[in-house]
Structure 1
Amino acid sequence: MSGKDMYYNKAKQEGYRARSAYKLKQLDEAAGLLGDGRTVVDLGAAPGGWLQVAAERVGSRGTVVGVDRQRIDDLDEPVATVRYVRGDITEDSTKDQIRETVADATGEDPTERPVDAVVSDMAPNMSGDYDLDHARSVYLARQAFEVATDLLDTGGDLAVKVFDGRDLADLQEDIEAEFEYVRQVRPDASRDASSELYLVAKNYLTAPVREGDRMDVEIVDVGDEGDGIAKVEEFTLFVAGAEEGDELTVEVTDVKPRYAFAEPVE
């Protein structure tokens, strides 16, 4: 195509600022990141292709905050509420500004967690040394992960770009500890020769327990399915086979955003 691939030409025809817009479309279709009315933070947002897609998909009740070191030109008549933060995501002052901008745009208290999704297409300046570029991409992904754990509401989502390589498994394991599950997605819109992939993490866990934890609990009620109910810092723990009034040691077997399951320990 005269040096221009299909997605480049499609972006020009459909009015998107970058071919990468189709990566976010495909990530959303695969993982459901951008539902109507959601609040989304877009890291590495310039020139604005992901912002365009996010604004379209969250709609008039939604909010999108774009963050980049470069200036982002305002979107033309976006459907959603759109705000911009210019700064370096590795600096604490930028992270503070993101929090304040989200709060201002949504009307929420800055100490609350109003964000439903953090998406990041950040990539390092390429050096030509693959190991170095991979390591730098992992560093940027960890910065996005840090923003996500600071802002995401319970059950929120994260999608972050990273280059494949030796540090990927450790990064994915760390993210998995904070979400219900994580998977790797390679959008069709990524270039064939690219080593990039996206870690898509679903359902952020703000629970005070994690799978494998053991603790002593008191069963304070029984649920509709017959499981005993215990409370850990007001978080609901369903305990199989337990009855109201039981005091027992349990092991957490599965954690969801708003409740968890446990089994009695013999």
Structure 2
Amino acid sequence: MARDHYYNKAKQEGYRSRAAYKLKQLDRLEDVIDRGDTVVDLGAAPGGWLEVAAEEVGPEGQVIGVDFQRIDDFADHDNVETLRGDMTEDKTRKRVVDAADGTVDAVISDMAPNMSGEYSLDQARSLHLARQAFETALELLEAGGDFVVKVFEGPDVDDFRADVEEEFQYVRATSPDASRDESSEVYFIGKGRLTAPVRPGDELEVEITDVGSEGDGIASVEGYRLFVPGAEDGETVAVRVEDVKPRFGFAQRVDRE
């Protein structure tokens, strides 16, 4: 059974929980954590995800773990800081922001409710925790940052995914091999936090203030660069936004349609 395999593997390799292999598999799938990153781990106890994240960011990176339960100190990882608190409270979020010094590259959450045994209730609580993690990610992540969150499958999960897709370049849903066979958990991986003031489909009037190396006009919308083919420096043009990346986007002229 996968359960026995990963439980035994964690014991042999010195991880605090079998969940460590879930994060390893998620990271391998979508490259969520890079060397030197600052990572915030929500619901971090007992610390399996913290150990994996600390290994991935290396000594030049930083990992901040938050949980309502106490997390034992790490003798082998100087780059891990733990905070005890409730992420639904503003004071805990402020402590995380202060610890991260304002720059966060990835927010990861393996939070789960205390199980009641009634699936509909547990699923609703799981979704509530996932939304709390999502709100925290929106507050903390830099442009281009990544987000991983667990949720139990059930009502309103599709709506939650749609909300995440609004804020990230793309979202992938997956169930790691390390999840228990009987588990209904699914992980959403949001890649590329979008902090742009525009979204695909928006129509607006912009002033072209520069020309890029490929000959496209460049406009600035609240400091965000928008590339507009067929536009020249000094023009004011009506455009429709076609694609939005974390740090720049593309638009097409609509004043010629």
Residue in 1 aligned with 2:190?
201
Listed as ranges, the matches of 1:99-248 within 5 Å are 99-103=97-101, 112=102, 114-248=103-237
CA distance in 2, matches of 1:98, 1:126: 27
- Contact 1:117/1:158 (<8 A) preserved: yes
Residue in 1 aligned with 2:83?
85
What is the aligned-residue RMSD (CA, Å)?
1.3
CA distance in 2, matches of 1:156, 1:194: 28
Residue in 1 aligned with 2:73?
74
> How far did residue 244 of structure 1 move?
1.7
Give CA-to-partner distance per residue, 1:32-64, whole Å, 9 cap, x none. 111111000000100011111111111010000
Give CA-to-partner distance per residue, 1:192-229, whole Å, 9 cap, x none. 11000100000101111111111111111211112111
TM-score by length of 2: 0.96
Of 247, 250, 254, the match for 1:261: 250
Indicate how the Cα distance of structure 1 residues 77 and 174 shifts in structure 2: closer, same or farther if over 3 A, else same: same
- Contact 1:155/1:204 (<8 A) preserved: yes
CA distance in 1, matches of 2:205, 2:153: 42
Residue in 1 aligned with 2:94?
96
SS in 2 for 1:145: helix
CA distance in 1, matches of 2:13, 2:244: 42
Q: Which amino acid aligns with 2:188?
A: L
Q: Which amino acid aligns with 1:49?
A: G
- Contact 1:85/1:101 (<8 A) preserved: no
After the TM superposition, list the runs of 4 or more consecutive aligned residues in structure 1 that deviate by more than 4 angstroms. none
CA distance in 2, matches of 1:62, 1:93: 24
- Contact 1:137/1:163 (<8 A) preserved: yes
- Contact 2:63/2:79 (<8 A) preserved: yes
CA distance in 2, matches of 1:4, 1:229: 54
> How far did residue 4 of structure 1 move?
5.8
Residue in 2 aligned with 1:55?
54
- Contact 2:3/2:181 (<8 A) preserved: no
- Contact 2:25/2:176 (<8 A) preserved: yes
CA distance in 1, matches of 2:61, 2:176: 24
- Contact 1:156/1:204 (<8 A) preserved: yes
SS in 2 for 1:219: strand
SS in 2 for 1:55: helix
Indicate how the Cα distance of structure 1 residues 4 and 225 shifts in structure 2: closer, same or farther if over 3 A, else same: closer
- Answer with 137-146 or 241-250: which moved more: 241-250
> How far did residue 245 of structure 1 move?
2.1
CA distance in 2, matches of 1:215, 1:43: 38
Q: Which has the higher contact order (CA 8 A, sep 6+)?
A: 2
Give CA-to-partner distance per residue, 1:148-201, whole Å, 9 cap, x none. 111111100000000111211110111111111111011000011100010000
Give CA-to-partner distance per residue, 1:216-248, whole Å, 9 cap, x none. 111112111121111111211001221222211
CA distance in 1, matches of 2:14, 2:250: 48
